[in-house]
Chains A and B, each alone.
Chain A
Amino acid sequence: MTYLYYPGCSLKGTGRGYEESLLAVFDALQLPWAEVKDWNCCGATAYMAVDEVKAFTLAARNLAIAREQGGETAQVIAPCSACYLVLCKAQHVIHDAPEIGARITDALGAAQLTYGPRVQVRHPLDVLINDVGTERLAAAATAPLRGRRVACYYGCQMVRPYATFDDQYAPTSMDRVLRAMGAETVDWPLKTRCCGGTLTGTIEDVGLRLNYILLREAKKRGADAIATACPLCQFNLECYQDKISAVYGASRLPVLYFSQFMGMALGLSEARLGIQRNFVPLAAAV
């Protein structure tokens, strides 16, 4: 079975390192994948603020294409948390609100597409934990991440409210994956506290403080890096560190995608994993 990779806009832009590292990891673990053909933007949270039905229609177009490409039970991999949430939410609404569902499936039909209600939307961590398993991951880790203390940051939309593969309050999938790769993960209570999403761009002082709290607490718990699974979380936590330091005092903490850490453990080069694209170098702790 081939996993259908749905990049979403960010993994082609600010989150390029996520795409590069994740696909390199899939290749290294011999997980077959193909990109969803002519995918479109998932609609993200901003779209829902304007027109919810159109937002779900955008998401559903991708699921219809995935069905055509990979069959009725095609498995779509959505690495971006916002994409993952929106695709899952669209499925729920189409199922639970039949009148909205009918409007959407009719609209897709106008462009010769058929909605696939049984297409599965999955997060890469779900695949790594449940399809691959930590034993196989540990066996594949030729350059284990010894001595690295990572705070796994899941953010909000990956686990809430739709994910069923992990706990909503105290998720562990990323911790288990990175521990299998040889890293030490620190236990901290802010794993799922929101980074503020687009607030850094719109109401900057609020966004900065939310990210300051996350960085400060990760460091306080002894982490020398943060691992994320969302391009927006990574962007907020990493690219705003200069501004955060200007307000709250100098402090630097590398923020990598969990897949970049995995790639390192699998012996892949930093260039192949897009690590050179990060603002805060991996050696920059404290």
Chain B
Amino acid sequence: MSDGQMPRKITYEADLDPHFAEEIAASARGEQLFQCIQCGTCGGACPVSPYMDLTPRRIIAMTRAGYKAEVLKSHTIWLCASCYACTVACPKAVRITDVMYALKQRAIRDGVYPKRFPVPVLAREFFQGVLTTGRNNELPLLIKMYLKTNIFKMLGQAVMGLRLFLTGRIGLKQERIAARRGEKGDLRTIMAAVDRGAPAKGGPSQ
């Protein structure tokens, strides 16, 4: 546009990923994705849809058509708060929340989510933290997220953090589960076994 050219809006079949829809449907454990009749109940029921660049309905349509790049870089999948309002309202039983999870997994795996966007960073840090200790330690988690995304925002949260600390609602002690490496119930043993059991190719855990 800057050089005065009109933006071109045509999609050639070659631009689309013909396998994307099936991959996402498999990952979301449901072929219902293909039952969508584009009625828009999801967007109407969603409390955060007013902020989405693409409504959930369009995400589903574009996923089915193979608009992989556009879908994965959309803010929509990261705005989804997993409240399941769409899932219970959908007249065709599309598990939209699970489709959003499948898209989040794929975006993280492919590394194509919006840069410095805090949600995927929070998700990854949370994942690593729990994998290490078995527990979610809220304070270190938030500090890491702000360090990696917007350090100035952390200053804005300082007052709240102090109040939480003073009311005993946030602590510095690192919580962790008791089972140690090799013991009964050890989380690392379990997770390593999950990885071993993963399907040979694809699979989001690789």
**Interface residues in chain A, defined as those with a beta carbon under 8 Å from any beta carbon in chain B:** 9-10, 12-17, 38-41, 43-54, 57-58, 61, 65, 85, 93, 96-97, 100, 102-104, 106-113, 156-157, 160-161, 168, 192-194, 196-199, 201-204, 206, 210, 239-240, 242, 276-279
Chain B residues lying within 8 Å of A49, measured Cβ to Cβ, are 101, 104-105, 108, 119-120, 123
Task: Annotate B128-146 by CB proximity to A: 1 below 8 A, 0 otherwise.
Answer: 0011001111100010010
Q: Does B175 lie within 8 Å of A12, measured CB to CB?
A: yes
Which 8 A-B residue pairings sit nearest by Cβ, starting from the closest?
A: A194-B83, A156-B83, A107-B193, A110-B193, A49-B104, A40-B134, A160-B84, A9-B136
Give Cα A110–Cα B82 distance, bound, in whole angstroms. 31
Q: Does B185 lie within 8 Å of A210, measured CB to CB?
A: no
B141-167 at interface with A (beta carbon < 8 Å) = 142, 145, 153, 159-160, 163-164, 167
Given contacts A13-B171, A14-B138, whether A197 and B81 have CB atoms under 8 Å apart is yes
Which of B118, B167, B193 is in CB contact (< 8 Å) with A202? B118
Q: Give the interface SS of chain A, mostly helix, strand, loop or mixed.
A: helix
Chain A residues lying within 8 Å of B205, measured Cβ to Cβ, are 51, 53-54
Q: Does A93 lie within 8 Å of B29, measured CB to CB?
A: yes
Which of A46, A199, A206 is in CB contact (< 8 Å) with B126? A46
Q: Does B168 lie within 8 Å of A277, measured CB to CB?
A: yes
For this complex, 17 residue pairs linking A to B, each with C-beta atoms less than 8 Å apart, are A13-B138, A50-B127, A57-B190, A57-B194, A58-B187, A61-B190, A96-B29, A112-B185, A113-B184, A157-B82, A160-B83, A194-B47, A201-B122, A201-B142, A201-B145, A240-B160, A277-B169
Shortest CB distance B203–A (Å): 8
Chain B residues lying within 8 Å of A85, measured Cβ to Cβ, are 84
Give Cα A181–Cα B24 distance, bound, in whole angstroms. 48
Given contacts A49-B104, A107-B191, A161-B84, whether A14 and B169 have CB atoms under 8 Å apart is yes
Which of B29, B83, B137, B138 is in CB contact (< 8 Å) with A197? B83
Which of A45, A242, A277 is in CB contact (< 8 Å) with B167? A277
Shortest CB distance A88–B (Å): 11
Shortest CB distance B105–A (Å): 6
Chain A residues lying within 8 Å of B82, measured Cβ to Cβ, are 45, 48, 156-157, 197
Shortest CB distance B59–A (Å): 15
* With A14-B164, A46-B123, A210-B48 already in contact, 6 other A-B pairs whose C-beta atoms are closer than 8 Å: A9-B137, A9-B175, A102-B197, A112-B184, A193-B47, A203-B78
Chain B residues lying within 8 Å of A51, measured Cβ to Cβ, are 105, 127, 204-205
Q: Does B190 lie within 8 Å of A111, measured CB to CB?
A: yes
Interface centre among B123, B135, B160 (most CB of A within 10 A): B123
Which of A38, A43, A50, A194 is in CB contact (< 8 Å) with B81? A194
- B19 part of interface (Cβ distance < 8 Å): no
Shortest CB distance A43–B (Å): 7
Which chain B residue lies CB-closest to A232? B81
Given contacts A14-B138, A202-B119, whether A50 and B108 have CB atoms under 8 Å apart is yes
Given contacts A14-B169, A161-B87, A203-B79, whether A52 and B126 have CB atoms under 8 Å apart is no
Shortest CB distance A231–B (Å): 9
